[in-house]
Structure 1
Amino acid sequence: MPHDPAPHHLHRRGVLTAATGLAAGLGALALTGCSSGPGGAKGDGPPRRGGRLRAAFAGGGAGETLDPHLGNLFADAARAKALFDKLADYGADLTARPRLASAWESNASLDRWKVTLREATFHNGKPVTADDVLYSYRRIADPERAFRAKASLEPIDLKASRAVGKRTVEFVLKRPTAEFPHVLAAFGAYIVPDGAEEFDRKPVGSGPFRLVSFAPGRSTVLRRYEDYWDGAPYLDELEFTVANEEAARVNALIGGQVEYAHELNPTTARAHEGKGQIEIVRLRNSAMQAFAMKTDRPPFDDKRIREAFFLIADRKELINGALSGAGDVGNDLFGKGYAYYATGLPQREQDLDRARSLLRRAGADGLKVTLDTSTVAAGFTEAAGIFRDQAAKAGVTVKVRTGSKDSYWNDILDSGTLCCYRSGAMPIESHISQRLLTDSTTNATAWRHKDFDALYRQAQSTRDAKDRAGVYARMQRRLYAEGGFLVWGFADWIIGTARTVRGVESTAPANTLDWARFDKVWLA
């Protein structure tokens, strides 16, 4: 990616006109993108209105909720996107795009940001106001609750922030933050009406659909909201159904019980792609695939051993074997293709001779390690087996230990030394803040270095995007040389649709603006 991608001009002073223009063009961009979706090139004419689309997702059982601040699953995120809006969302390059916010601008010191709201209404006809925004963020930040976006909103001093008009919020920050628009786009940072607490019976959002019925763990039915600010959806109704097993989602799609099946595995996609029965949509570069090494304990507290493991990996073999070829080679850094990604570093290749030499110098001949894995994500157990065999060629014995898929993500944060790891799309800045700072809550590699923390704070307070990119480049060079993430690939996120479905965007990673944009989907 260029060091100063075009969207970053929105972070500077004088952005009101530019941001408004970008926001106004989003609907057109989304519609243009629709033509590249399944069947989009078949000459079916313009989008059609009407019909119900049924979408199958893995669900969360009887404990599911429509509270947009509580969601963790992809099903939660898709439902929340249909019912609610955020101030901003991530574009395909993981930079912030305006949504309910029509514009934002900062003061010279980057510690005060003025956010202007567009004219939008909730499903009850009331306008979305600055008071709604402040209530929503204060609700998320409540120390007595465990809302997903709480950590993302941490830079905001919500006691000092205030409404300076019906549609203008002045956010006061605890420290200079050049990437503040990313906070507005944070996962789960949805805007709800001032005072709202009841969501499962009759949620009131400002999204493209309104609730008809909700049966936790079974089905959610939504109906088009005609007055949606970004244009009423084409579909009359949208139904989310629950199918936790991938085979059940595929069978429902093939059998005509649903028209959209979320998260298929690479083997399924290869079996059906181009066969004419269903359409396969690949969301490129959606999920980082890695092994996480704990850098604070033996043997990976020795950076020579970490480098040796970087060199043991045959990344192409891992992609072909664990992902059926559905992915791109990684280079031990998160965010390939995203803003600020360090593209100039040499691509790592397998070098078993150098790996053996590093291990010998570290006194680790005959090294034995345990690799934790699970069926929690597609390709994890396959990747563990492949890497075990690769490591044996360098004289390392890897014991594969398969853990519970229900507790895996919590288990690997503190225990073990080496594990399979996956991450969805987010800005590189967010990846660093959530996983690589001394006080990060999901620091799976136990990477804790005060000088690295200081570089992050420097990047956050650097106004010029090119200079800021230079600081991020320094941080990535350090991680490339001695970090704990062995990033071997970036997997496609795979969706199946019926042949009648149009408008599914194929260029947006999961969790970004154009993922699960059911307001832009139609039935041919």
Structure 2
Amino acid sequence: MSINRRALFRTAGLVAGAAGAGALLDACSAATPSPDPARDAGPAVPRQGGTLRAVFTGGGASESLDPFGSGSPADFVRGDVVFDSLFTLIDGEAASALGDEVEVGPGAASFMLKLREGVKWHDGSPFTAHDVVYSFQFMSSPKRAFPSQLSGYFDFGKIQIRDPLTLVVPTRRPVGDPALFLAALPGKMVKNGATFTGATAIGTGAYQVVEFEAGRGSRLERFDGHWAGKAPADELVLLSLVDSQARVNAVVTGQADYAGDIPFTTGKAGVPGNDFEVRTAGAKNRTAYGWVLNTTIKPFDDPRARKAVRLTIARQQLVDSVLLGYGAPGNDLLCAGAKYFMPRAPLARDVGQARKLVKESGADAAEIVIRTAEWEVGYNASTRLLAEQLKEIGLKVRADVVSPPEFFEPDAVAAANGVAFSSGAIPLAVMYGRLGASPPLALKDNEFAAAFGTAIGNEDKAERAKAWDDVQEIMFDRGNTVVWGQADVLSLARKTVAGIVVRDQPKYPYLGKAGLA
């Protein structure tokens, strides 16, 4: 998860969504207890034809067809099927999409990008290098509220076009695997000259926009000329709802076939009827829950104070009470399930050693403020439990509970001693790059910075893997990420829904291969 607000779920329409949920609940019959969530459930292959209706967390009036203009799951899901990226993530690796090949130049100071042949926009015009240059400039323009983070690694102002399908892109710092950054951030391609001022959009994706209304939903029609072949469903109807229970009820009452990111309480209670199943994205696609400690101010500028927090947390208690058992204890490292992730056992709870470290570091001298909001279900509850647990070692901790819209206000984050945080299994290069770009979330450690630079800049795969081990060893030893749990990501689907694919984050899966059996 980026601290960039565009990458955070918007909360407009929250009250209306909650009210709607209550009305729907009254109309439903009593739920029956659900079995454990199913992994890879439903038919493996959807049939051709029909309409798939799916509902995701929406962003209200802030939703946009601009793939870089808004940040709700509903926006991401729609954007993934309307617009293609140069590369996509498959099992943590960069896979070719509109980009066919990357050749890294000497010293990783540039790369040659070759594009896939025969790609067409929805209007039938060819996809070329000029579209790529425009897309890079469009996403990274300083006029945008939140320019693409790709511009921190690549110098888009100095791109050279060799021919209609070949470009040379200079880097701002050595990047040994540029395709991974293009896949994970990601770099959606838009048509040369696109402005997104109306209710239509032209992409190269598996579906094209027919209708769109911000905060309510969109209707998409299959694009038969897609370079990867025809999608299964004739149409996708994507509904936008903020309240999680309202999304569940949309499936139960027949308004939708699939709901992403449902509450843990629904997993426990089940839903009425035999036509549904609660699904899990699996252990490799869990969401890390925890906090990032601010190393720019006391007391967490001292590694002893940071370790005291990690030694005190009752991790299993948090998994059982906040996640209702849907998950596993975390080991303080982010990106579990991603390539290069270091699987280590969490620190054992040791209150006596933690008290000693608190005294040595002087961390008991002042009040500690941990900023939180219900951005993810469980942020506030886990932060309040953390404050209670840390009293055992003599720390005075206050949970600063704010509303989601103000959660990542920069000055407030900088003033807090820590902030609640969560992240999926995204590539380590992207996650640590994002944290490092914000001083209150970065680890101030020269050895860590050197290891990270080697990890992203080295062209040799073996040396890159060794550097990522070094990065995580340092983070495990004296880092500022406190990951108490790895939460399952649950969804609700009719049993006939098939072909749901996780590319980046399971909370907004790829529906270009999905449909009904």
Q: TM-score, normalised by structure 1?
A: 0.85
- After superposition, where does 1:72-151 map in structure 2 within 5 Å? 72-92=71-91, 94-118=92-116, 119-148=118-147, 150-151=148-149
Quote the Cα distance in structure 2 between the aligned partners of 1:174 and 1:446. 20
In structure 1, what is the equivalent of residue 496 of structure 2?
A: 500
Once the 2 structures are TM-superposed, how far is the Cα of residue 298 of structure 1 from its aligned partner? 1.9
**Structure 1 range deviating more: 50-59 or 124-133:** 50-59
CA distance in 2 between partners of 1:279 and 1:510 (Å) = 20
Aligned residues: 476
Match of residue 422 from structure 2: 422
**Equivalents in 1 of 2:473, 2:220: separation in Å?**
47
Shift of 1:296: 1.8
Is 1:267 matched with 2:262? Answer: no
Contact 2:332 2:346 in 1 (8 A): no
**CA distance 1:368–1:233, shift in 2 (3 Å):** same
Cα pair 1:213 1:222 within 8 Å, conserved:
yes
Deviations 1:165-189 (A, max 9, x none): 2222222223321021122214352
Match of 1:475 among 471, 477, 498: 471
DSSP-derived class of the 2:466 partner? helix
Residue matched to 1:38: 41
How far the C-alpha of 1:113 sits from its partner, in A, is 1.4
Match of 2:318 in 1: 318
Aligned partners of 1:123, 1:408: CA distance in 2, in Å? 38
Shift of the 147–120 alpha-carbon distance from structure 1 to 2, 3 Å rule, reads farther
The Cα of 1:201 is off from its aligned counterpart by 2.7
Residue 364 of structure 1, CA deviation = 4.3
Alignment of 1:69-468 (within 5 A): 69-92=68-91, 94-118=92-116, 119-148=118-147, 150-198=148-196, 200-272=198-270, 276-284=274-282, 285-343=285-343, 345-364=344-363, 368-410=367-409, 413-436=413-436, 440-441=437-438, 443-468=439-464
Displacement after TM superposition at 1:205 (Å) = 0.3
**In the alignment, residue 520 of structure 1 is paired with which amino acid?**
K
- The residue identity in structure 2 corresponding to 1:323 is L
- Deviation string, structure 1 residues 298-339 (Cα, Å, up to 9, x no partner): 222222111110100121211111111122321111112222
Name the residue aligned to 2:24: none
Provide Cα deviations, 1:105-144, integer angstroms capped at 9, x if missing partner. Answer: 2224222212221131110111211111111111112122
In the alignment, the residues of structure 1 paired with residue 214 and residue 112 of structure 2 have an alpha-carbon distance, to the nearest angstrom, of 38
2:289 and 2:422 in contact (8 A); partners too: yes
Q: Provide the rounded CA distance (Å) in 2 between the counterparts of 1:71 and 1:169.
A: 28
Structure 1 counterpart of 2:149, one-letter code: A
Structure 2 counterpart SS, 1:348: coil
State the distance in 1 between where 2:447 and 2:511 align.
44
Moved more, 318-327 or 381-390: 381-390
Aligned to 2:9: none
Sequence identity percentage = 29
Q: Using the TM superposition, give the Cα deviation of residue 235 of structure 1 relative to its aligned residue in structure 2, in angstroms.
A: 0.7
Task: Measure the CA separation in 2 of the matches of 1:78 and 1:382.
Answer: 28
Matched, 1:521 2:514: yes
Contact kept in structure 2, 1:327 and 1:490, CA below 8 Å:
yes
Which range moved further: 302-311 or 421-430?
421-430
Structure 2 unaligned segments of length 5 or more: list them.
1-37
Instruction: Write the letter of the residue equivalent to 1:468.
Output: R
Cα offset for 1:63? 2.9
Check whether the contact 2:59–2:71 (CA below 8 A) recurs between aligned residues.
Answer: no
Deviation at 1:276, TM superposition (A): 3.2
Question: In the TM superposition, what whole-angstrom CA distance separates every residue of 1:448-470 from its partner, at most 9, and x where no partner exists?
Answer: 34453333223333221111222
Query: Considering only aligned residues, what root-mean-square deviation do their CA atoms show, in Å?
Result: 2.3
How much does 1:509 deviate? 5.5
Quote the offset at 1:191 in angstroms.
0.6
User: By how many angstroms is 1:475 displaced?
Assistant: 2.1
Task: Look up the equivalent residue of 1:510 and give its one-letter code.
Answer: Q
Length-normalised TM-score, structure 2: 0.86
Deviation at 1:366, TM superposition (A): 7.8
Deviation for aligned residue 1:81: 0.6
Alignment partner, residue 12 of structure 2: none
Tell me the amino acid that sits aligned with residue 515 of structure 2: W
Which residue identity lines up with residue 473 of structure 1 in the other structure?
D
* Mapped contact 2:218–2:237 kept (Cα < 8 A): yes
Q: Equivalent residue for 1:488?
A: 484
For residues 448 and 65 of structure 2, what CA distance do their matches in structure 1 show?
38
